Structure 1
Amino acid sequence: MENTSEPKKRLWSMNFFLLWQGQLVSTLGDSIYEIALTFWILYETGSPGLMGALLATSLLPKVLISPFAGVIVDRTDRRKMILLMDFIRGVCILFVGIAAIFGFLEIWMAFVAGIILGVCAAFFNPAVTSTIPDIVPISQLVQASANLSMLRAIAQIIGPSSGGVLYHLVGPPILFLCNGISYMISFVLTFFMKIPKSTSQDQQYNFWQDMKDGFSYIWKMKGLRDLIVLAGFLNFFATISIVLLAPMFKNSESLGEVRYGIAMAIFTLGMLAGMVFTSVIRIKPDNKSMVLTVSGLLAGIVFSTAVMMNNFVVMAILLFIGGIFNALVNVLIESTVQLTVIQEMRGKVSSIKGTLTMGLAPLAMFIGGLLGEFFPIKTIVFSGFMAMTVLFIPLFFLKSFKSFIQYNPEQQKIGA
């Protein structure tokens, strides 16, 4: 089931190091770009509803294409796919930056750029995800997932905390340009990677059959199916809350853009602490289900409490704590999927999982933005996080879910 064409003795091989560096640079650029784009839209339109609609439109192509992209990823050279997607995104965002610098950037251009980024991400994400188990030892897969999540956390600490300040100091055009450059740096680093060939790459290609196989594979594994459904609903309610955080901070005299960036950085610092924990402390398989469920439950409670705080310091402390629990949930979900899915199905499963978990996100963004036009934004954000809390309660009683999360590759076979 596993491709063993290349020795895998240690976690920090040259391949993993190059992947880590490339992802760090591009993710840092993305985090700054996200801050710049969000507030650029809010200041240009003044409408949280239009902001939500724009973000939803940007995400929709990724959602629709992801299942098809996974099938293609499993049948193509993953290194070339990663390179191509980085190059296209780099050119696209460089154009956005140049357009902004020379004063001809329009809202519709941001729509088009968002669509292009979404399409590229639909191919890029499963290519990277399916590559990780082939360039690191299976015994260190959780640590690898934690380290990659950690770099995203580092980028989200530096990006938002500096993004709000840089937005006022240099303006969005320069920030857009920096993101385009970051993709090009990632492209250069990936060029030197060596990724083992997928065992399904040489097999006969049948697109629709592969799609069917991917859905069938997920459907037959009840634990995997339940995990993906859970992730989908969690993402839906989280997105409703998250999409309204920027306008919530912008409309508050005691908060504002700079504190929004600081708050997001502190939350991500908490995530980083959680990633460090999972990268150095091995969570025993028998404890994974309890850690996942309790962490998710506490994350929802802490986030709900944080947004109701009038004291920014207290809010920041709660966001840090919530970030720790959120990191534990993310790492355990991702590593469980990687451990339980065979190599030739990883791309398909990763894409389908991405589609099903993210499929409701555009709707959530639109609903969140629309609700923000008519109801108190803080109340909506609180309700979304509380809904996340409720979703974790049934997991204490689902034996099939517990057994799936606690899968041990050293004692069990996949599907056992």
Structure 2
Amino acid sequence: MNTNSKLFNRDFTLVVLGQIISLFGNAILRFALPLYLLNLTGSSAVFGSIMAISMIPMALLSPIGGIIADRVNRRNIMVILDFITSGIVIIFGLIFVPDHAVVLIGVMMVLLSIIQSFYSPSVQSSIPMLSSPENLMKSNAVVNQVQSLSSLLGPVFGGMLYGFFGLTPIIFIGGISFFLSAVMEIFIHMPYKKRPAESSVFSIVKGDMRDSLSFILHQQPVIFKALLVVCAFNLFITSMFIIGMPTVITINLGLSSQLYGIAQGIMMAGALLGGVLVSLISNKLTQDKAHLILAGSALCVLPMGLVLLLGLPSMISYAVITFFGMSLMALASIFTVMMMSYVQIITPESLIGKVMSFIMAISVCSQPIGQALYGFLFKISDSAPWTVIFGTGLIAIVITLASRKIFQSIELLPVEEN
């Protein structure tokens, strides 16, 4: 593990810069493609179904991505996948025709999800390799802030570009971003020790999966219990947020793509704020209080439904939904950094990639179901979307109350020590 006490050492800085460029391109694509689909079809059900299908590879392939991340040079994985993504995106831009938009966008989002399944474990598991133990939570917070900053600027610029110029320039900007990120990552020096191949590929995969599951289920069962809570939140709040926000803002409130992009940017600013707060108060955050963060997230949902119930003017509803969406994202960011840092601290170095990928896979496995469900719910309640949002908030509060004992049972660890 890198013992350099400096937070922004050379290699960590290159990872951060590469992430800024890559994630910006990813953010504008993930903003524009679903919005184009929603505007084209006007159906939240089609929108939700495509989003759900695109999440399935992430749930199924992330564990394999983690196994690869622990056995192959992580720098090489990041470089190769960014080059591949750049090529796929540019080819998509060249062959895209509106008549086949639903199929092409569906295929494109599935391919991006497959690549992300292998890319994310490499990035997450590289952080402990490039950071000293005392800087681990701060390093995670920085990476989280980069993701949030990209998610903030991506929708804002994506909304403007999409509103004024359409989808095509966004596609090519995304392709160029992935190419530049790959070039940046070539210069990263990442510790890597090649493991001897002692058995067949199938045996290696089977053994690594067994080790990861054993660690999560038996050695650290509290991780699995916490993951079940995260799955429940993703099934309801995350899925409602992903499907509901574009549907409510652009269809129910009748506002423009530009305003939706601004709302998305402001909400992502909340995630950035959460990352900043973690950096400032990391020594005061304890995992046994994580359920309080979730409770705050659940309470943020209720005002969003209330303004729609009251039938307030569109811009007032827009402002309230955006503000509480920003607050929810700030709390979600704090929770994510807290729990990811905890897992990285208690996980042996040889298992980090596999365990992190299993966590990502399990945490998102409920999202395809949730997104398909909310696409259907928003379609049948198009005249009263507040019922869906308000109901989601109440369910989330119940989940939070039920999770209290799980988080209070976590063994407290000093986040600034290994």
Q: Letter of the 2:228 partner, please give it.
A: V
Offset from partner CA, 1:77-135 (integer Å, 9 cap, x none): 211111111111111111122233x7676322222222221111111111111110010
For residue 366 of structure 1, the aligned residue among 361, 372, 378 is 372
2:84 is equivalent to residue 98 of structure 1: no
Residue equivalent to 1:127: 122
Residue equivalent to 1:382: 390
Offset from partner CA, 1:237-272 (integer Å, 9 cap, x none): 123312121111111345342222222222211221
Cα 1:267/1:178, change in 2 over 3 Å? same
Offset from partner CA, 1:159-196 (integer Å, 9 cap, x none): 22232222121111111111111111110111110111
Residue equivalent to 1:294: 292
Provide the rounded CA distance (Å) in 1 between the counterparts of 2:41 and 2:292: 41
Residue equivalent to 2:156: 161
Structure 1 residue 403, shift from structure 2 partner:
4.5
Provide the rounded CA distance (Å) in 1 between the counterparts of 2:131 and 2:413: 19
Secondary structure of 1:407's match?
coil
Residue equivalent to 1:315: 321
Provide the rounded CA distance (Å) in 2 between the counterparts of 1:378 and 1:28: 32
2:216 is equivalent to residue 218 of structure 1: yes
Cα 1:247/1:302, change in 2 over 3 Å? same
Residue equivalent to 1:170: 165
Alignment length, in residue pairs?
402
Q: Letter of the 2:408 partner, please give it.
A: K
Residue equivalent to 2:259: 259
Offset from partner CA, 1:376-411 (integer Å, 9 cap, x none): 33322332233223222233334xx33436223778
Q: Letter of the 1:306 partner, please give it.
A: M
Residue equivalent to 2:402: 394
Offset from partner CA, 1:24-49 (integer Å, 9 cap, x none): 11111122112211121012222111
Cα 1:409/1:272, change in 2 over 3 Å? closer
2:141 is equivalent to residue 146 of structure 1: yes
Structure 1 residue 230, shift from structure 2 partner:
1.6
Normalised by the length of structure 1, the TM-score is 0.90
Q: Is the 8 A contact 1:55 1:362 kept in 2?
A: yes
Structure 1 residue 332, shift from structure 2 partner:
0.8
Q: Letter of the 1:230 partner, please give it.
A: V
Normalised by the length of structure 2, the TM-score is 0.90
Q: Letter of the 1:392 partner, please give it.
A: T
Q: Is the 8 A contact 1:223 1:405 kept in 2?
A: no
Residue equivalent to 1:234: 233
Provide the rounded CA distance (Å) in 1 between the counterparts of 2:84 and 2:386: 38
Provide the rounded CA distance (Å) in 2 between the counterparts of 1:19 and 1:307: 40
Per mean C-alpha deviation after superposition, the further-off stretch among 381-390 and 330-339 is 381-390
Per mean C-alpha deviation after superposition, the further-off stretch among 318-327 and 359-368 is 318-327
* Unmatched segments (≥5 aa) in structure 1: none
Residue equivalent to 1:204: 198
Q: Is the 8 A contact 1:198 1:344 kept in 2?
A: no
Residue equivalent to 2:244: 244
Residue equivalent to 1:116: 111
Provide the rounded CA distance (Å) in 1 between the counterparts of 2:253 and 2:329: 25
The 5 Å alignment of 1:15-94 reads 15-94=11-90
